[in-house]
């Protein structure tokens, strides 16, 4: 589809059904939670249909869990675990705070930037509590 779009000099809108970048992506907490629960149960059939008119797998795609202002912490934990990143509660809280401060979904690079900033803060020497 991307190749066809390039050939006719047409950018496929992100929200375009089936082929748009956002077609099988959700950042809404309740939607993501249902998809995550189905995946954790090993029920890819249900995960692929619970909030999609057609299964993403029919088009070589997957359901994507994103992070945004309507996300819950489960979105963040899943996102981190899916990428092999430890879902430390303080990191989850940092990403959650950032997500709530924007009106749209965070890009992968934006989430990675929060992770980098969090790691830098965590690696700084801690001052002992004053007496």
Q: Are 27 and 68 in contact (CB under 8 A)?
A: yes
User: Rounded mean pLDDT of 80-90?
Assistant: 96
User: Rounded mean pLDDT of 38-64?
Assistant: 90
Q: Are 96 and 70 in contact (CB under 8 A)?
A: no
User: Rounded mean pLDDT of 72-81?
Assistant: 95
Structure pTM? 0.81
Virtual torsion, Cα 106, 108, 110, 111, nearest 10 deg? 90
Each residue's pLDDT tens digit, 19-39: 888 788 888 889 999 999 999
Q: Are 39 and 74 in contact (CB under 8 A)?
A: no
> Domain segments of the chain: what residues?
1-64, 66-123
Q: Please tell me the predicted confidence (pLDDT) of residue 85.
A: 96
Position 42 pLDDT exceeds 90: yes
Q: Please tell me the predicted confidence (pLDDT) of residue 72.
A: 93
């Amino acid at each position: 589809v991307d190749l066809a779009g390039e050939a006719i000099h047409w950018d496929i809108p992100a929200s375009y059904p089936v082929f748009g970048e956002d077609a099988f992506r959700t950042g809404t907490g309740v939607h993501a939670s249902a998809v995550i629960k189905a995946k954790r149960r090993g029920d890819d059939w249900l995960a692929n249909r619970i909030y999609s008119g057609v299964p993403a797998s029919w088009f070589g795609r997957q359901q994507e869990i994103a992070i945004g202002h309507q996300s819950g912490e489960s979105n963040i934990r899943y996102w981190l675990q899916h990428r092999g990143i430890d879902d430390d509660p303080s990191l989850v809280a940092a990403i959650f705070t950032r997500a709530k401060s924007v009106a749209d979904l965070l890009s992968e690079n934006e989430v990675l930037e929060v992770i980098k900033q969090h790691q830098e803060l965590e690696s700084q020497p801690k001052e002992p509590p004053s007496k």
